[in-house]
Amino acid sequence: MNTPQLGPGPHQYCTIVPPYLLVRLAKLDDPRFAQAAAAARQSLLRDSQIRQLRGGAHPFPYSGARTLPARTPGQSDRTISDADGQERLPGRRVRAEGQPAGSDPAVNEAYTSLGATQNLFWTQFGRDSIDGAGLPMDATVHYGKQYDNAFWDGERMVFGDGDGQVFNRFTISPSVIGHELTHGVTQFTANLQYQGQSGALNESISDVFGALVEQHTKTQSTNEASWLIGEGLFTDQVEGVALRSMKAPGTAYNDDVLGKDPQPSSMAGYVETEDDNGGVHLNSGIPNRAFYLVAEALGGNAWETPGRIWYDTLTGTGVGRASDFAAFAAATAQTAATLYGIGGAAHDAVLRAWATVGVLAGPE
């Protein structure tokens, strides 16, 4: 019997769409986007209510460890539920592990991408699910009516259908599903607090492994990959390719309705703000670009050497709840030196990447 322990401390409610995007949509006074504006207002209200309800609560609605049935290590244990447009979780169970695909694309996409995320973490890093001990992967689709977000609530992944004008359904992108599940991995490891630079690192780590899930599934090398987070989420009415670009933060969209992607790509553009938990979705562009630069310098498959460095750093002892960019950068450099040697290509690539984005001074 497996008896995984719960993650340390209070969980965080982590969304994929930054609140500043929804606020901009909610303020629209254009009758052409009345549906999108109304959906954004409702989504913001829903997110606020969930945070108040779950803020500081334990990630699971029970005490102690959860006893799970015997299973083969590394085997996926997925359950997809359907909220049927309601705001109640978990919803109606519609597909369990091993059951065939049905006609609902959201259910099938969630099931497939959860399996792809488990496959990456198990085959590349030896991690068995979210907690490292086979915790079941639960997801709910069709949450709310025209809900413009997806989130990890400390227990499960939850996906809205979008408003149909600006956002498509949120299961459409494997990077989104990998992103949300990785918030759970972070919860059970470094448990980075969702505020300021540690919160931006929390978001960035989810982007990193969300991108790696998509690349691993498609067997894309660093040069072949798009490095986009949430590709396909925007409808054809939006001038943009994704929510974020790891390769070039600040270039994911430039739209009359949404505005221009505000992510900085280095510390020179670091955003000081009290909004968005201290800019967690904004400043995550800085460590995102650092990871991309490491992958670009090393070439090949990003889930191999770069992914191993980031994973071992996340799960090691060098990163704590309040770690800032400098602490995380130093920890990745130490991990690279331990794994691949001081002064080796990987160590040098890590130092140069963090120097390029203005976090470390760089190698001599």
Do 290 and 170 lie in one domain? The reply is no
**pLDDT per residue as tens digits for the range 304-352:** 999 999 999 999 999 999 999 999 999 999 999 999 999 999 999 999 9
Catalytic residue among 180, 203, 214, 231: 180
* CA-based nearest residue to 80, from 89, 70, 68: 89
- Number of structural domains (the chain) is 2
Question: How far apart are the C-alpha atoms of 297 and 350, rounded to whole Å?
Answer: 9
- CA quadruple 334, 362, 291, 206: dihedral sign: positive
Catalytic residue among 11, 183, 216, 281: 281
**pLDDT per residue as tens digits for the range 38-51:** 999 999 998 877 66
Asked which of 187, 210, 231 is the last residue of a domain, the reply is 187
How far is CA 257 from each of CA 33, 166, 240, rounded to the nearest angstrom? 9, 9, 11
Confidence at residue 68, expressed as pLDDT on a 0 to 100 scale: 52
Asked, for residue 65, whether it belongs to a domain, the answer is no
- Give the containing element (helix H, strand E) for 79: strand 78-82
Do 242 and 319 lie in one domain? The reply is yes
**pLDDT per residue as tens digits for the range 17-46:** 999 999 999 999 988 899 999 999 999 998
Contacts of 357 (CB under 8 A, 6+ apart): 265, 266, 267, 286, 287, 289, 290, 293
Structure tokens that stand for 275 in this block: 């909004």
Contact predicate 268/334, CB 8 Å: no
Tokens 């070439």 appear where?
299
Domain with residue 41: its CATH number is: 3.10.170.10
Is 180 considered catalytic here? yes
* CA-based nearest residue to 287, from 177, 205, 351: 205
**pLDDT per residue as tens digits for the range 163-206:** 999 999 999 999 999 999 999 999 999 999 999 999 999 999 99
- Reported as a pLDDT band with limits 50, 70 and 90, residue 216 is very high
Do 23 and 137 lie in one domain? The reply is yes
Name the pTM for this structure. 0.92
Asked, for residue 229, whether it belongs to a domain, the answer is yes
Contacts of 313 (CB under 8 A, 6+ apart): 319, 328, 331, 332, 335
Confidence at residue 51, expressed as pLDDT on a 0 to 100 scale: 60
Do 268 and 155 lie in one domain? The reply is no
Owning domain of residue 135: 14-59+79-187
Asked which of 126, 158, 187 is the last residue of a domain, the reply is 187
